[in-house]
Amino acid sequence: MINQLRADFYRQTHTFGHYLLLILVILFSVITVYSKNVGGIMVSAPADFLGRLANMQWTLLSGTRGLTISSSVLMYAFISIFVMVIGYEFSQQTYKNTLVSGISRSGFIIAKFVTMLLDIFIQVIAFYLAGILTGIALGRKIGTSWGNLFSTTLLTAVIVTFFIGVVFSMAIVILMLTSSLIGSAIFIVAFPMLISILSMITKWNWLKYIDFFSVTVKISLKEITVNQFQPYIWTSFAILAVCFGLALTIIKRKEL
């Protein structure tokens, strides 16, 4: 498994698309913080906060919160990570060559999940750091203590990474079932939109537990407590565990 991790990271560090994505993520962050224009896909956008955010004098903290509201857009950009880490191998069936080389199927899946999450986390950290540095370059005030700013940024980055990883884990199951890279990519694009539409039409309360980006925004704005956050995180862990189990089951039944 360690060798698989090394191979994946080596391949990505020698892939132009990896660096192009990083540049685009940083550019998106800079533009968002500089222009003060935020937006994303979520079940219930905090309209009152968006109004205040548009008219207030931005600080580094409000810039971080603005980036969090826009973070759902990152999931679409990170489809390229999904393709580079696991999508291409399954769509072209080249994963069989890796399995024949000696790695266990469970080790292969674990390595892919770990690689994908680390890739996303690095990109998300770059997203927030670029925003903070842009705010500093523009001469904006901190808006809080440095300790609180960085702890808030780190916590939000971890949560954004985790929730994107949950959506991608569902896409991995679809990919392994269908061997269709297009189908799994469509799922990644459609999932947040579908949740938003269903929420508006049905008013089902349980949808909030799988509306990952809305809860991320609420955490960043401190609109929910730790106790209120627990059902969201347990739901996400359950989905991730089920998808991981399904992925292991599917790959063990695939013929080489």
Give the pLDDT confidence of 79-132 residue by residue, as tens digits: 999 988 887 777 777 777 777 777 778 888 888 888 899 999 999 999 999 999
pLDDT level of residue 43 (50, 70, 90 thresholds): very low
Average pLDDT over every residue of 214-227: 74
pLDDT at 186 over 90: yes
| SS3 assignment, position 57 | coil
The CA distance from 126 to 73, in Å, is: 15
Rg of the chain over all Cα atoms, to the nearest angstrom: 19
Evaluate whether 114 touches 5 at the Cβ level (below 8 Å): yes
Average pLDDT over every residue of 61-69: 89
Q: How many helices (H) and strands (E) does the chain have?
A: 13, 0
Task: Determine how many CB atoms are found less than 10 A away from the CB of residue 157.
Answer: 24
| SS3 assignment, position 141 | coil
Q: What is the pLDDT of residue 46?
A: 57
Task: Find the domain containing 178 and state its range.
Answer: 2-253
**Percent helix / strand / coil, the chain, rounded to 5:** 80, 0, 20
The CA distance from 207 to 182, in Å, is: 26
How many distinct structural domains can be found in the chain? 1
